[in-house]
Amino acid sequence: MRNSLKRHFLKENEIKQILDNFSGRLGIKPEQLFGSKPRIELVEAQEAKIFLFNNMPFSAQIRDMLFPTLLFEEIFSLLPKIVVDMGAVRHICNGADIMAPGVVKIEGEFDKNAFLLIVDERHGKPLAIGQALIESKIMKETKRGKIVKNVHHVGDDLWNLMKKIA
């Protein structure tokens, strides 16, 4: 991600649109996280848009996909979780999708395409934001193959850019 960044605060109607989109994808009310009149800042990089609330990157958009970021800890308790074994950690942090054999536990019920928090089994440390390739009921029975697409992980270009911004 290049260093040519544009940064500005969003107008009220733009804030409503982005928060409705964000909260609709996660099934939450925006007021739960942002209060009634939040100020949202947009940072535009070449490949991504990053949305900040109180200088914290809460969401990013790459192409048409808007998703929560790994720096927005307030969202972690609201997302379903996939707990992976320690052998999967290195692969996930290098961008690999989540495979069924590496999953130790699935927490929460969700549909296909839902956003999930991927954590390690030893410390519960967030590793990635993933997108479910199948619904939770099927996922719990699946023993092989890809089950979650890795959308954003610790150490990726977006992560590094957000660390500079935050």
Mean pLDDT per block of 10 residues along the chain (166 residues) reads 80 94 87 90 95 95 95 94 98 98 97 97 98 98 97 97 89
Please give the distance of CA 88 from its chain centroid, rounded to a whole number.
18
Rg (CA), the chain: 16
Its domain, for residue 149, covers 75-157
Neighbours of 64 (CB within 10 A): 5
Residues 80 and 30 in one domain: no
Report the C-alpha gap between 21 and 149 in whole angstroms: 20
Tally Cβ neighbours within 10 Å of residue 112: 12
pLDDT, residue 52, reads 97
Give the global pTM.
Answer: 0.93
In the block, residue with structure tokens 């969003």: 10
pLDDT at 2 (0 to 100) = 46
Both tokens assigned to 48: 């991504």
Q: Does residue 162 lie within any of the structural domains?
A: no
Q: How many domains, the chain?
A: 2
Check residue 29 and give its pLDDT: 87
Identify the pLDDT of residue 1: 47
pLDDT on residue 28: 85
In a domain, 166, yes or no: no
Domain-located, residue 165: no
Q: Which residue has the tokens 């909260």?
A: 23
Q: Clarify whether residues 119 and 94 are in a common domain.
A: yes
